[in-house]
């Protein structure tokens, strides 16, 4: 169940989801870019202009906050609100995934296509 105050931030875009996920621990912008690319298996590529704008917007809406610097880089981390938004988003993904799992027809089709047992 979505907590009060997080609804207006949901659903997150894929890019924002990976940015917040990466900022559960303190990180600077370029580390966020690399992590998003890696953990999304290359499906989410963040260009610097896009990331800069996203970080600024997330900071304005208080989902992340600056916690320090690394040379000229700003280091950010999620706030408690940001954490809660992330949890609520993950909960939504769980529901979405469960719905897919229950569609056995779709699931077996994927299994055959991928040629592996999921």
Partner 1 sequence: MNTLSKFKWFWAWQDEKEEAWLGEMAKNGYHLDSIGLPGQYIFLRGEPGNFVYRLDFQGLKAKDRDSYYQLFADAGWEHVGDMGGWVYFRHLVNGSEIPEIYSDLESKMGKYHRVMSYLIIFLPIMIIMMPRVADVELFGPFRGILGLLSASLLLLYSFAIIQLFRRISRLRKKGI
Q: Which residues bind partner 1 (CB under 8 A)?
A: 13, 15, 29-30, 33, 45-54, 69, 71-74
CB of 50 to partner 1, least distance (A): 4
C-beta closer to partner 1: residue 71 or 115: 71
Handedness of CA 32, 45, 47, 15 (dihedral sign): negative
Report the candidate in 17, 15, 8 with the shortest Cα–Cα distance to residue 89: 17
The secondary structure of residue 8, as a DSSP letter, is G
Indicate the burial class of 2 (C-beta count within 10 angstroms; 0-12, 13-18, 19 or more). middle
Q: Which is nearer to partner 1, 52 or 107 (CB)?
A: 52
Kindly tell me which of 30 and 107 has the beta carbon lying closer to partner 1. 30
Q: Which CB, 62 or 87, lies closer to partner 1?
A: 62
Q: How far is the CB of 24 from partner 1 (least distance, A)?
A: 20
Q: Nearest distance from residue 52's CB to partner 1, in Å?
A: 6
Phi (first) and psi of residue 84, to 5 degrees: -65, -40
């Amino acid at each position: 169940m979505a907590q009060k105050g997080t609804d207006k931030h949901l659903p997150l875009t894929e890019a924002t989801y990976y940015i917040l996920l990466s900022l559960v621990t303190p990180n600077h912008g370029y580390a966020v870019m690399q992590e998003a690319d890696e953990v999304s298996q290359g499906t989410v590529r963040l260009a610097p202009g896009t990331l800069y704008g996203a970080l600024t917007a997330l900071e304005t809406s208080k989902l992340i906050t600056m916690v320090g610097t690394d040379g000229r880089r700003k280091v950010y981390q999620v706030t408690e609100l940001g954490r809660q938004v992330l949890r609520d988003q993950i909960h939504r993904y769980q529901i979405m995934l469960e719905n897919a799992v229950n569609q056995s027809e779709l699931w077996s089709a994927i299994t055959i296509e991928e040629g592996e047992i999921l």
